[in-house]
């Protein structure tokens, strides 16, 4: 899985920002790793972080990307 490798490498470089899990590595406390409907990859932002696509905001909001409630 090339995407999984890219995400895991990015998570190692930005360990304070987010974590990457697969079905097999999801923490047991989430209680849903054994369901066949679970996505193969999960990216979870750590407390204080958000995951967003700035390019999408630029095209939709025509450059007015200014998230509220998120520290920069």
pLDDT-based confidence at residue 59 (cuts at 50, 70, 90)? low
Q: What is the pLDDT of residue 30?
A: 85
pLDDT in tens, 9-38: 999 998 889 999 998 899 988 887 677 888
Q: Which residue has the higher pLDDT, 38 or 65?
A: 38
DSSP for 2-67? HHHHHHHHHHHHTTTTEEEEETTTS-GGG--TT-TTS-SEEEEEPTT-----HHHHHHHHTT----
Residue pair 52/69 in contact (Cβ under 8 Å)? The answer is no
Q: Which residue has the higher pLDDT, 57 or 26?
A: 26
Provide, rounded to the nearest whole percent, the portion of the chain with pLDDT above 70: 69
């Amino acid at each position: 899985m090339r995407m999984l490798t890219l995400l895991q490498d990015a998570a190692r470089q930005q360990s304070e920002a987010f974590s990457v899990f697969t079905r097999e590595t999801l923490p047991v406390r989430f209680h849903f790793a054994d369901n066949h409907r679970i996505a193969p990859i999960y990216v979870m932002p750590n407390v204080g972080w958000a995951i967003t696509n700035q390019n999408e905001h630029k095209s939709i909001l025509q450059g007015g990307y200014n998230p509220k409630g998120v520290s920069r």
